[in-house]
Structure 1
């Protein structure tokens, strides 16, 4: 089995490598290729990756290359974890929206749109090159904004599934609070990428007992503290919202906070410098503790599970993925990309049925889906007016003066990445 990681020079790649090494019985990787144009980073990450495999007794071969076509040739699955423009572009995404009083964040709002505009054309080009060399390869997208990127891939006819670590993070957290193993926890997880709610927490599988009321009663304070929202809000919702919902439920509060502290991009950039120094140490043969602060917790477990299911090697019977709606949520178009539990196998994911969704959540999903339609159109066809309409449609913006001002800033800060600008 050959796997290729595009964006393999990321400082987060050792987390993925550690998962491949630990979980090799689920996913017996024989060849792993890390692809990245940043040669110096790639050599550092690749060296540590080989040492991690060696320490854990994994017999698979790891190679690195800046040649995408060679790297994906013959791959059974290709994982995408790239960041067009690097942390410098992320820094911009997180700052210029604040000038208009809007949230500065890399996956939602104006910053999220900027990332989509930079990313979609690049990802589609990569996917086309994968299809030329190996049309049967699965593409697993971890590149944000996952929902929009996955929809672009599916719309272009690629064998693609989107992956996010929010659900597996909740699964691990709830398992700890309940005193059970993670495999015993099945989430009723519903929404769009980075716009999700846990509407049930079941023990044993999709038909198991829902212990969410008990969880909220006994651990509501801790859950709310993790989400940084009042306990009363969680109680009133009766569900556990993703921490990304705080950008919607407490927008102005978040803007005030973001204006008074360094951006997350600046923090991550400093972390990356430290990590790369560590990776250069020939004695280091495990992922360093600092990596846990980098973000993306449990990504490796989720990625291995998904790849194993798609490639026929097993994996959990049900997994939270991003895929076409196709009637699962009747209030959304069939070609919307939703994030829900699905049965995963070699033919791809099949979403499980979802009980009726509270209008409080369904309305926001429908609004953001409309924005994602317009965002994808802007990413594929370009043009100032398309950018403006996408921003105007976003519930975190929604005013024409803001949308106009943000459009100008978005284009100014991303001109080098926009072929039409």
Structure 2
């Protein structure tokens, strides 16, 4: 089995390598190729990756290359973890929207749109080259904004599934609170990427007992604290929103917080410099503890599970993924990409039935889905007016004066990445 990671020079990659090494019985990788155009980073990450495999006794071979076509040739699955423009572009995404009093964030709002515009054309070019190399290869997308990027891939006919670590993070947290094994926890997870709610927490599988009311009663304070939302809000909702809902439920408070401190991008950039120094230590043969602060917790386990299921291995039969709606949420188009529990196998991901969604959540899901459709159109066809319409449609922006200003700022800050600008 050959797997390729595009964006393999990411500081995330040792987390992924550690998962491949620990879970080799689930996903028996024989050849792993790390592809990245940043040769200096790739050398450091590749060296550590080989040492991790050696330390854990994994027999697989790890190679590195800047040649995308060579890297994806013969691959059974290709994982995409790109950041077009790097941390410098992320820093911009998180700062210039604040000038209008709007959230500056890399996956939602104006910053999220900027990332989509930079990313979608690059991902589609990669996917076409994967298809030419092996039309049966699966593409697993971890590149944000996952919902929009996955929709672009599926709309273009690629064998693709989107992946996010939010659900597996909740699964692990709830399992710890309940003192059960993670595989015993099944989430009723519903919404869009970075716009989801846990409407049920079931023990044993989709038909198991819903223990969410007990979790909220006994551990609501801790759960609310992790989300940086007030406990009374969770009690009123009776569900657990993802932490990205804080950008909607506490927008103005978040804007003030973002204006006060260093950006997440600045903190991550500093962390990455320190991590890369660590990766260069020839004695290091395990992922450093600092990597846990970088983000992407449990990404490796989710990726292994998904790849194993898609490639006919020992992956879990039910997994939270990003895939086509296909009537699952009847108020959305069939070709919308939703994030829900799905049955995953060699033929892809099929969403499990979802209980009717409360209007309190359905309205926001419909609104953001419409934005994502406009965002994808702007990413595919370009043009100032399409960017403006996407920003005007986003519920975190919505006012025409803001949309006008943000359109000009987005284009100015991203001109080098926009072929049409």
> In which range does the TM-score fall when normalised by the shorter chain?
over 0.9
1:80 is aligned to 2:80: yes
**How far 1:313 moved relative to its partner?**
0.5
Matching residue of 2:55: 55
Runs of 4+ residues deviating >3 angstroms: none
Match of 1:168 in 2: 168
Question: Does the alignment pair 1:117 with 2:117?
Answer: yes
Q: In structure 2, what is the equivalent of residue 272 of structure 1?
A: 272
Report the Cα offset of residue 21 of structure 1: 0.1
**TM-score, scaled to structure 1:** 1.00
Give me the whole-angstrom Cα distance separating, in 2, the residues matched to 1:68 and 1:309: 25
Q: Displacement, 1:76? A: 0.1
Question: Partner residue of 1:373?
Answer: 373
1:150 Cα shift?
0.0
The answer for the alignment partner of 2:333 in structure 1 is: 333
Q: What is the CA-CA distance between 1:317 and the residue it aligns to?
A: 1.1
After TM superposition, the structure 1 = structure 2 runs for residues 311-322 of structure 1, keeping only pairs within 5 Å, are 311-322=311-322
After superposition, where does 1:185-204 map in structure 2 within 5 Å?
Answer: 185-204=185-204
Q: Which residue of 2 aligns with 1:30?
A: 30
Tell me the distance in 1 between the aligned counterparts of 2:260 and 2:243: 20
- 2:146 is matched with 146
CA deviations on 1:168-218 (whole Å, 9 max, x unpaired) are: 000000000001000000000000000000000000000000000000000
Match in the other structure for 1:101: 101
Partner of 1:416: 416
| SS of residue matched to 2:398 | coil
C-alpha distance in structure 2 between counterparts of 1:332 and 1:383, whole Å: 26
| Aligned 1:126-141 pairs, distance under 5 A | 126-141=126-141
The Cα of 1:414 is off from its aligned counterpart by 0.1
Q: Is 2:19 the partner of 1:19?
A: yes
**The residue matched to 2:269 in structure 1 has which SS?**
helix
**What is the CA–CA distance in structure 2 between the aligned matches of 1:400 and 1:376, rounded to whole Å?**
20
TM-score, structure 2 normalization:
1.00
User: Which residue of the partner structure matches residue 90 of structure 2?
Assistant: 90
- Which deviations, in whole Å up to 9, do the C-alpha atoms of 1:266-301 show, x marking residues without a partner? 000000000000000000000000000000000000
Equivalent-residue separation in structure 2 for 1:221 and 1:41 (angstroms)? 41
SS in 1 for 2:197: strand
User: Deviation of residue 370 (structure 1)?
Assistant: 0.2
SS in structure 1 of the partner of residue 124 of structure 2 = helix
Q: Distance in 2 between the 1:237 and 1:419 partners? A: 44
What is the match of residue 394 of structure 1?
394
For 1:162 and 1:276, the matched residues in 2 are separated by 27
Secondary structure of 1:411's counterpart equals: helix
The superposition leaves residues 200-253 of structure 1 with CA deviations (integer Å, 9 ceiling, x where unpaired) of: 000000000000000000000000000000000001111000000000000000
Counterpart Cα distance in 1 of 2:149 and 2:356: 27
Q: Partners of 2:15 and 2:23 in 1: how far apart?
A: 12
Distance 1:149 1:309 in 2: 21
| Alignment-derived partner of residue 363 in structure 2 | 363
Give the aligned partner of residue 216 of structure 2.
216
What is the distance in 2 between the residues matched to 1:38 and 1:27? 28
**Ranges in structure 1 where 5+ consecutive residues have no aligned partner:** none
Q: Equivalent residue of 1:229, what SS?
A: coil
- Cα drift, residue 115 of structure 1: 0.0
Deviation at 1:157, TM superposition (A): 0.2
Per-residue CA deviation, residues 123-146 of structure 1 (Å, 9 max, x unaligned), is: 000000000111000000000000
Give 1:314 deviation, angstroms. Answer: 1.6
Using the alignment, how far apart are the partners of 1:379 and 1:7 within structure 2?
20
- State the distance in 2 between where 1:152 and 1:317 align: 25
CA distance in 1, matches of 2:242, 2:341: 15
Aligned residues: 421
Equivalent residue number for residue 406 of structure 2: 406
Where does structure 2 lack aligned partners over 5 or more consecutive residues? Answer: none
Per-residue Cα deviation, 1:66-111 (whole angstroms, up to 9, x for no partner): 0000000000000000100000000000000000100000000000
SS at match of 1:78: strand
Determine the C-alpha separation between the residues in 1 that align with 2:92 and 2:384.
19
